[in-house]
Amino acid sequence: MADFIDSIKSAVKFSGPYIPPYSKSNPTPASLYIRPFLMGTTPKLGVKPAQDYGHVVITSPSGPYFSSGLNPIKLKVEEEYIRAAPGGTGEAKCAGNYAASLLAAEIALKEGFDQVLWLDVERKYLQEVGAMNLFVVIDNVLVTPDLDGCILPGITRDAVIELGASHFKMSVEERHVSIHEVIEGIKNNKVTEIFGSGTAAVITPVGSLGYKGEHYTIGDGKIGPIAQKMYDTLLGIQYNELNIECAKDWIIEVQIDG
């Protein structure tokens, strides 16, 4: 782990001139995106595990994950394709998982949606939003799908759960969430917010769902108070502006020369 952290620090130091300036007046601040990954480097074409691996860290100045910034997105509930199944690689951060999602996402874009809401292999329970973890506010309880082997255990997911329970003193549940429960909850106003979480997007509010030919608006279609608080708090932690007890070990300071 120490070597991994050192490699990240070195990449950030090298990228110092490319780190976007931060301004509180900018509602959608840019940042330096960091992507570490491993790739097999054994010089063989056979279908077998590599014996040698290369560790690479890519950095890039990046704007908001969605061009619209922190505005609610429209999701298509995917009923045909799935991104992961039990016994597969759904819980791993591997390239193949993203490849399996691209066609459905492209179709959703052509149909006027921003992203896909993925269901499980039975097309019954919620999994993820595009490449993000998923949260639903049901009766003032923060609910997220439990880690069943098909869902990525995202670090931002962990942060949202910890902030919700420890900082905002919310009830938090990790459990199966059915699309039926969500649709009925939207209809009877028990579901008041849906949002995604991820390293690049931080927090992405969801304004509406498209399911079985119908469109369902969540709340008033705008960003909800919990998603807004989570976004503001996470950015405050990232920019070292907030001192929160449960997040005291989340930040590593890197000194940039010059």
The single-letter code of the amino acid at 145 is P
Q: Partners of 163 in the beta sheet?
A: none
pLDDT tens-digit readout, 32-75: 999 999 999 999 998 999 999 999 999 999 887 776 668 999 99
Provide the residue type at 235 as one letter: L
Task: Look at residue 27 and tell me whether its pLDDT is greater than 70.
Answer: no
pLDDT bucket at 28, cuts 50 / 70 / 90 = low
Q: What is the pTM of this model?
A: 0.93
Secondary element (H or E) of residue 183 = helix 179-187
What are the domain boundaries of the chain? 2-63, 73-238
Write the pLDDT tens digit of every residue in 185-219: 999 999 999 999 999 889 999 999 999 999 999 99
Q: CA-to-CA distance for 32 and 153, rounded, in angstroms?
A: 22
Q: Which amino acid is at 159?
A: A
pLDDT in tens, 154-168: 999 999 999 999 999
Q: HSE of 167 in the Cβ direction (CA atoms, 13 Å)? A: 19
Average pLDDT for 222-251 = 93
Give the per-residue pLDDT at 258. Answer: 63
Backbone φ/ψ region at 202: left (φ over 0), alpha (ψ -120 to 50), beta: left
pLDDT of residue 183: 99
Measure the CA–CA gap between 173 and 186, rounded to whole angstroms. 18
Counting residues of the chain whose pLDDT is more than 70, the rounded percentage is 96
Fold of 73-238: D-amino Acid Aminotransferase; Chain A, domain 2 (3.20.10)
Q: Using DSSP, how many helices (H) and how many strands (E) does the chain show?
A: 6, 11
End-to-end CA distance of the chain: 28
Given the residues 9, 76, 93, 169, select the one marked as catalytic: 93
Split at pLDDT 50, 70, 90, the class of 96 is: confident
Average pLDDT value for the chain? 93
Q: In the numeric block, which tokens belong to residue 4?
A: 């991994």
Instruction: State how far the Cα of 134 lies from the Cα of 222, in Å rounded to an integer.
Output: 17
Q: Band the pLDDT of 26: cuts 50, 70, 90.
A: low
- Give yes or no for residue 25 having a pLDDT over 80: no
Rounded Cα–Cα distance for residues 27 and 59 (Å): 22
Active site residue 248: no
The owner of tokens 């009877």 is 188
Q: Tens of pLDDT along 130-157?
A: 989 999 999 999 999 999 999 999 999 9
Candidates 158, 162, 136; CA nearest to 147 is 158
d(C-alpha 106, C-alpha 230), whole Å: 29
- SS3 for 12? helix
